[in-house]
Amino acid sequence: MDKLVITGGRPLSGEVTISGAKNAALPILCACLLTPEPLTLTHVPALNDIGTMLKLLVQMGVKVERDADTVRLDASGLNNSVAPYEMVKTMRASILVLGPLVARCGEASVSLPGGCAIGARPVDQHIKGLQAMGAEVTVEHGYVHAKVGRLKGARLFTDMVTVTGTENLMMAACLADGVTLIENAAREPEVVDLAKCLIAMGAKISGAGTDVIRIEGVTDLHGATHRIMPDRIEAGTYLCAAAATGSTVTLNGISSGYLDAVVDKLMDAGCDIVSEKTAEREFIRITAQAKLKAVSIRTAPYPGFPTDMQAQFMAINCIAEGSAVMRETIFENRFMHAVELQRLGANIKIDGNTAFVTGVKRLEGATVMATDLRASASLVIAGLVAEGETHIERIYHLDRGYEQLEAKLMALGAQVRREKA
Ligand code: UD1
């Protein structure tokens, strides 16, 4: 397995261009299943998770053409509505084919994604929503089977805010008979981006970005072209890398609007942040103090502080002045990076869903193991700060979600190399 070797202690400087958002691209790729006409997507990031989703779509009969960051999908020959375990187990977001398949084909069998390192992550809300829309859903031999003539519009209420649950049900409702209301809907910008693409395909959706989404079902959707929004978590990760190393870095292709909660905390930590969005250019520039203040956070659904940025902020708190309390409210097991950060010399105590972090003067390079996508990002940030070499093993997690990570970091002056196993 490949590993990343980082020689820390160097400030970063320069500019980095933010890629398309993984978490917007994944549901939007699945939207192609809703129409026999071609869907063209631009600004699609080259990531392993995107490759996995494309493979899944291809085995369902979707024709895929890829040219640089443009992907053209044609689901006119859709001939298989089964998402097998072998594919789903590598990526939970595969569950996003369920809603569109049931809506277009009247049936689907999707392997249950099961738990993952960060928590149990059930899909009961996706199932409950489809049942309320008239689908007969059974769970047998590890598969969710859903069957229906045509879905019927319904009033849906999810027990908790779920991002992919909202996206799955929104896609399903586009081809349902009548009006669907999704209450307690996720307000994440990626949900809004999916809604924009669906609207371009002829869907009638209002309220995306609020907690009530209204979808008036139509009989058919048509082809469209859509540009994927920038990746706010990738951007947040580079902001944290700059903050931790006391650097000035400019991120191009994104403005701070998507990152309010993150920017707010970085400013509390003592960073200066400017952002601009004009017709010609969009950027965020961060200038960080040599010494940051520790910042307490509590993760929450958007517009709260994103759980996908918790690990990166833990890396910052490890070397900041003072102590921070970090509360994880979305996933039950999302502190696995803490023990790895401790190997670098961090002072962290975990009690249930709360981490108490006290800043130390310096971190020292060591061998650590990446355990999930964002945990890996926190180890990269810590490695950039630590004295000497940090060896990060199992970096396939990073390849799932960060496009050209080493190239981007090296362009900012970091000393990073990948060692092939
Ligand atoms: C999405 C993101 C992920 C992010 C997460 C929370 C994608 C592809 N992934 O994951 O990066 O960390 O949102 O912002 O967009 N839950 C249930 N039953 C359900 C659905 C969810 O109990 O049917 C629970 C989950 O276990 C979790 C919470 O609800 O505790 C939120 O999960 P959810 O928003 O669904 O996360 P994902 O959509 O899987």
**Ligand 1 atom closest to the CA of 160, numbered from 1:** 29
Question: In the structure, what pLDDT confidence band is assigned to residue 75 with cuts at 50, 70 and 90?
Answer: very high
Query: In one letter, which amino acid is 66?
Result: R
pLDDT in tens, 343-374: 999 999 999 999 999 999 999 999 999 888 99
Averaged pLDDT for residues 23-45? 98
Which atom of ligand 1 is nearest to 124's Cα? 23
Average pLDDT over residues 8-20: 96
Would you state the pLDDT for residue 60?
96
- Tell me the mean pLDDT in the region 129-147: 95
Band of residue 289 on the pLDDT scale cut at 50, 70, 90: confident
The share of the chain scoring above pLDDT 90, in percent, equals 90
pLDDT in tens, 375-403: 999 999 999 999 999 999 988 889 889 99
Token representation of residue 49: 């998770």
- At 312, the pLDDT band (50, 70, 90 cuts) reads very high
What pLDDT band is residue 421 in, cutting at 50, 70 and 90? confident
Q: What mean pLDDT is predicted for residues 180-189? A: 98
Find out whether 348 and 314 touch, Cβ atoms under 8 Å: yes
Q: What is the mean pLDDT of residues 107-120?
A: 78
**Which residue puts its alpha carbon closest to atom 9 of ligand 1?**
23
Q: Does the structure show a pLDDT above 70 at 214?
A: yes
CA dist 90 and 226 (Å) reads: 27
Closest CA to 29 of 5, 3, 49: 49
Give the model confidence (pLDDT) of 219-256 as tens digits: 999 999 999 999 999 999 999 999 999 999 999 999 99
Active-site annotation, residues:
116
With bands split at pLDDT 50, 70 and 90, how would you rate the model's confidence at 90? Answer: confident
Round to whole Å and give the CA distance between 151 and 334: 36
Q: What's the gap in Å between 323 CA and the centre of ligand 1?
A: 29
Contacts (Cβ under 8 Å, ≥6 apart) of 261:
303, 304, 305, 306
Interatomic CA distance for residues 33 and 39, integer angstroms: 9
Question: For residue 420, what pLDDT is reported?
Answer: 86
Q: Which pLDDT band, with edges at 50, 70 and 90, does 120 fall under?
A: low
Write the residue with the smallest CA distance to atom 11 of ligand 1: 308
Whose alpha carbon is nearest atom 33 of ligand 1?
A: 162
pLDDT score, position 88: 87
**Looking at residues 154-178, what average pLDDT do you find?**
97
What is the model's pTM? 0.97
pLDDT at 145: 96
- At residue 117, does pLDDT exceed 80? no
Mean pLDDT of 322-339: 94
26 lines ligand 1 (CB under 6 A): yes
Q: b/e map of 184-199 (b: 16 or more CB within 10 Å)?
A: bbbbbbbbbbbbbbbb
* CA 162–ligand 1 middle distance (angstroms): 5
pLDDT of residue 119: 64
